[in-house]
Structure 1
């Protein structure tokens, strides 16, 4: 409640300083600092929008969680706490059952671009995605680097070493890790550093970029490069009411900016991965992998549990298997995605 009151106070304060005549000012809110890789991509989008509009659209950023929260950002955008913001449907408090589970359908989509393409296949075939995003206009979809296993004090050399480890993991991996004897928990990434430092968790399923971007190299000693599939999801959005208040020309510019934003995110994700692994090596993080047979075993478990999670959506009245089948049919090979048989 205090966060919402503060956010509304800041919004009212902003409204008291109107933009120059002929200029539309949009507030952009994110939980990340200006130097985070995601924020660098956000800044590339801001630059494009302002240049493409010849200064008629101005973006005013709010960094480091000053306006939006991690778990309520979708609802906050719907209510106009900010005009545009970073959203994480996988952490939303209810109402995003399919958006959460579909991120586990991405085995075989190894690049950011293929992940985004696969999300669009699923969203186009599954009306429930649109219902879960009601009240929001999606401005960018985001994928990510394949994750590995970051641990503080226990090295993982094989899947058997996961037994007993308390690991932060995304929703789609919880049952996979449980079947391997781990104790998985789901929490916002912003809470992981302190939880590892305090010994609350033993590690996290995360890509190598987090060693620098989230400073995990300061608290982790080990990294296993087990290739954990990564799903895509709508990650930047605007409230529909605010979207509808814009002119046709302004909406056209923001639509044109979507592939620019997504390309910037993909670029920054790759740069961040390289920097993160450099940081890990510089801080003497021990890096290891698993055997091909162990990787194949994990992949089989991942797909088995993805299907089980899809079936389990029936308890919410959702046909998760339709989305699962759409995803598996679209993956024609490593990074080759075809929606409905068409590339």
Structure 2
């Protein structure tokens, strides 16, 4: 009887004990220079949950945030060499080895939506082998679009392009020539240094999207936001090392490849929410939002495209024929991306 009671107690304890934890077949590391609260990271977390569920638990992720594993400037090399299996990459800020990837982001003058940014990039990458050659050793899992930058200024409001004259502005490389032609004094500096530069009056303003009014606390050091719309392009922003890719079976490789549009949609949604939050924060904290006249925007777009063509031609010093890429981008923006493989219809200039 005592033996029967003992067995019954053991069986009861076993039933009440927690079930053994399920272990995924493949645990992939994910690395980002951003904290988990950043809009980009929120999209990344949603994607990871989506893949874990879609794989039936066969894939799990171990994320590393806030630059704990990779840097912004070296992320392509770091992912390529397996420092993390998957990570956020920034070819638009990488100086060496990705000259076309970095420059092509300025070829999208006239683009209207984040969805169009991604669609045009995908068409260009399919048409021009140099895109993928520069990313050898990587599998692109998501192309990132983004909110269109405007102009945030410290003290002087910008109502027209004429007001740019004499302003010292932090700007991305693709817009520096255009701003200089309009009389501004553009400089390039890491975004992490902009807040202190604005606070000290080292710069008068920054080319940045509205979400930074809140996310980077620019409302504390700047008082005006002008809706000068700088066109920007999509770029590959999430990638997996070929080393990690080859460890997965074909069905899980397909799952990751097929999840690309899902991840991109999450990034677009988070970007849109962040932009609206930035505008709401601006109104609540007395940051003046100034619409730029349509004629001035059209003039800016024309100058921007002229300099983009010059930058495309300048790629020849790296042995890259950039002009056909620029013309193809403009054709896709003008005529749509339904026929990605079609040759450019852009007339010569």
Q: By the TM > 0.5 criterion, same fold?
A: yes
Question: For 1:63-100, what per-residue CA distance to the aligned partner results, in whole angstroms no more than 9, with x for missing partners?
Answer: 11111111110011111111111111011131111111
Match of 1:250 among 249, 252, 261: 252
Residue aligning to 1:90 = 92
List aligned pairs for 1:136-155, cutoff 5 A. 136-155=138-157
List aligned pairs for 1:11-160, cutoff 5 A. 22-160=24-162
Q: Quick check: 127-136 or 151-160, which moved more?
A: 151-160
Match of 1:241 among 233, 240, 243: 243
Q: Quick one: distance in 2 between partners of 1:106 and 1:39?
A: 25
Q: Quick one: distance in 2 between partners of 1:194 and 1:68?
A: 25
List aligned pairs for 1:167-316, cutoff 5 A. 167-316=169-318
Assess if the C-alpha contact under 8 Å between 1:141 and 1:236 holds in 2. yes
Q: Quick one: distance in 2 between partners of 1:132 and 1:196?
A: 36
Q: Quick one: distance in 2 between partners of 1:161 and 1:260?
A: 42
Q: Quick one: distance in 2 between partners of 1:211 and 1:22?
A: 41
The DSSP-based 3-state class of the residue aligned with 1:60 is strand
The DSSP-based 3-state class of the residue aligned with 1:28 is strand
Q: Quick one: distance in 1 between partners of 2:85 and 2:201?
A: 38
The DSSP-based 3-state class of the residue aligned with 2:325 is helix
The DSSP-based 3-state class of the residue aligned with 1:229 is coil
Assess if the C-alpha contact under 8 Å between 1:167 and 1:201 holds in 2. yes
Q: Quick one: distance in 1 between partners of 2:237 and 2:123?
A: 16
Q: CA deviation at 1:29?
A: 1.0
Assess if the C-alpha contact under 8 Å between 2:70 and 2:83 holds in 1. yes
Distance 1:26 1:191, change over 3 A: farther
Residue aligning to 1:10 = none
The DSSP-based 3-state class of the residue aligned with 2:110 is coil
Q: Which runs of 4+ in 1 moved over 6 A?
A: none
Q: Quick one: distance in 2 between partners of 1:191 and 1:47?
A: 34
Q: CA deviation at 1:191?
A: 3.5
CA-atom RMSD in angstroms: 1.8
Q: CA deviation at 1:20?
A: 6.9
Assess if the C-alpha contact under 8 Å between 2:110 and 2:301 holds in 1. no
Matched, 1:337 2:347: no
TM-score, length-scaled by structure 1: 0.89
Q: CA deviation at 1:39?
A: 0.8
The DSSP-based 3-state class of the residue aligned with 1:81 is coil
- Number of matched pairs: 322
Q: Quick one: distance in 2 between partners of 1:63 and 1:153?
A: 35
Question: For 1:153-178, what per-residue CA distance to the aligned partner results, in whole angstroms no more than 9, with x for missing partners?
Answer: 22212112222222222221111111
Q: Quick one: distance in 2 between partners of 1:254 and 1:102?
A: 26
Assess if the C-alpha contact under 8 Å between 1:212 and 1:276 holds in 2. yes
Q: Quick one: distance in 2 between partners of 1:205 and 1:75?
A: 28
Assess if the C-alpha contact under 8 Å between 1:72 and 1:93 holds in 2. no
Larger radius of gyration: 2
Q: Quick one: distance in 1 between partners of 2:284 and 2:185?
A: 30
Assess if the C-alpha contact under 8 Å between 1:78 and 1:239 holds in 2. yes
The answer for unaligned runs of 5 or more in structure 2 is 1-20, 344-349
The answer for unaligned runs of 5 or more in structure 1 is 1-18
